[in-house]
Amino acid sequence: MSIRTGTSLRRFAFVRYAVPVVTVTAAALVTLALQSVSTHVAGLPLLFCAAIYSAWFGGLGPGLLAALLSSGAIALNLIPPPSPGNSVADELPRLVTFTIGVFFVSWISGRQRQAEQLLEQAREELEAKVRERTAELSRANSKLQSEIAERKSAEQALQTMQLELAHVSRVTMMGELTASIAHEVNQPLGAIMNYANACRRLLASGMDNAVKIDEALSRIAGDANRASDVIARIRALSRKKPTERATLPVKDLIDEVLAIARYEIQARSVTVRVDLAVGLSPLHVDRVQMQQVLLNLVINGMDAVEALPMKDRVIEISAQARDSGDGLAVALRVRDHGPGVNPVEVGRLFEAFHSTKPQGLGMGLPISRSIVEAHGGRLHLVPCEGRGAAFEALLPAGEGVDA
């Protein structure tokens, strides 16, 4: 701190040149005061000290000024020479050595001061650099923070988008199943109507038909339940809701999907064969999303076999336990016996908006894949023997064993 104060004071030429004046004057006054007490006090040493200090402090200029002032003081006999009787000329060699000494000290002190200045400069540069770096780092840090936040919100947006897309594709898919859905609701409604009309007839006949009417009423209740189950299933599929994973036995998944597509399967005279391995672990998945994946594969399969003779319109759904490499998995496979996938199309199968069907949106497979991958699984076209195409969803198995 003191060095820094000294060096900062040295910056001013006024201070540098004030120092020799002050110190030489002080040395002369002190010398005079001391000589008034004792005549043996030498005049030069204190002046020399003042000159050296001035040279050390201010460099060559102030050093010379001090030497000049000291020489002047001696020459003007302000300070009496140590040995009385000596003239100024006698003092000359002493004055010359004095001046050379001052030069030397000034030179050394100049070099030292230069070194100090360089050091000071280097330190200041270093500090500036450190400050600059720190500022840079904190800028980078805040940029990173904002990038992280941005990425997080982008991820969230992507997730929302995927949910939306899955929903749109589900609704589109259900559009294809309208006939099936209408049939599934119409069937119990027609039955209810039949029972109701039968009851009216039984009542109008005037006979005691209480037992029959009771039977009809309980069947009405049963059919009303059936209709509302169908509607509940459809509503669950058409609703947009966040992912919600639960335990789902593979058999339930397949049964539910086939129940939704049942009429469509019949109307298109497609035979569906199901082959479930024994003792499969249940899945831990979002029920609706997984139904969507399987339903999509089944509809694709039906489309693939549509043009074939009736006996060849076969789709096989199979599920097997498999070791996926990182744990137990369930391989859910849908295989059709249609014309298969054109080798040219294989690479684009899971591309969005790429469809080989005239009415296709090209969203089914890419969305199915993103759903399966979000569940930590994989969805692929797998090779199969003979004609047709086989798609396999490899899903991580949950805990336990299917009932």
Partner 1 sequence: MNAGDSIVYVVDDDASSRQSLEFLIKASGYAVRAFSSSKDFLASVRPEVPACLVLDVRMPGLTGLELQGELAKRGVRLPIIFITGHGDIPMSVQAMKAGAMEFLTKPFREDNMLRAITLAIDNDRVAHRERLEMAELRRRHARLTPREREVMASVVTGLLNKQVAAELGASEKTIKAHRAKVMQKMEAASLADLVRMSEKLVADA
Residues near partner 1 (CB under 8 A): 179, 182-183, 186-195, 197-199, 201-202, 212, 215-216, 219, 222-223, 226, 263, 266-267, 269
What is the spatial distance between Cα 213 and Cα 31, in angstroms, rounded to a whole number?
Answer: 141
Which is nearer to partner 1, 30 or 198 (by Cβ)? 198
Considering the complex, what minimum distance in angstroms separates the CB of residue 369 from partner 1?
32
Give me the long-range contacts of 261-264 (CB less than 8 A, separation at least 24): 261/177, 261/180, 261/295, 261/298, 261/299, 261/302, 262/180, 262/184, 263/179, 263/180, 263/183, 263/184, 264/176, 264/177, 264/179, 264/180, 264/299, 264/302
Q: How far is CA 297 from the centre of its chain?
A: 34
Work out how close the CB of 206 gets to partner 1 at its nearest, in angstroms, rounded to a whole number. 12
CB of 222 or CB of 400, closer to partner 1: 222
Nearer to partner 1 by C-beta: 224 or 341?
224
CB of 323 vs partner 1, minimal distance in Å: 38
* Choice between 45 and 222, CB closer to partner 1: 222
Nearer to partner 1, 159 or 186 (CB): 186
Q: Pick the closer one to partner 1 by CB: 57 or 195.
A: 195
DSSP-assigned beta bridge partners for residue 328: 323
Of 177 and 280, the one with the shorter C-beta distance to partner 1 is 177
Alpha carbon distance 152, 158 (integer Å) = 10
Task: Give least dist CB 312 to partner 1, A.
Answer: 16
Task: Say which amino acid occupies 197.
Answer: N
Minimum distance from residue 326 beta carbon to partner 1 (Å): 42
Query: CB of 384: closest distance to partner 1 in angstroms?
Result: 25
Contacts by 231-235 with C-beta closer than 8 Å and gap 24+?
Answer: 231/185, 233/259, 233/260, 234/174, 234/181, 234/260
CA-nearest of 346, 353, 332 to 381 is 346
In the complex with partner 1, which residue's Cβ is closer, 74 or 305? 305
Nearest distance from C-beta of residue 301 to partner 1, angstroms:
17
In this complex, which beta carbon is closest to partner 1, that of residue 35 or of residue 271?
271
CB of 185 to partner 1, least distance (A): 10
Contact (Cβ atoms closer than 8 angstroms) between residue 196 and residue 220: yes
Collect all residues with Cβ–Cβ distance below 8 Å to 63 and sequence separation of at least 6. 20, 51, 52, 54, 55, 56, 102, 103, 105, 106, 109
Question: From the CB of 287, what's the least distance to partner 1, in Å?
Answer: 26
Among 290, 258, 273, 232, which residue's Cα sits nearest to residue 180?
258
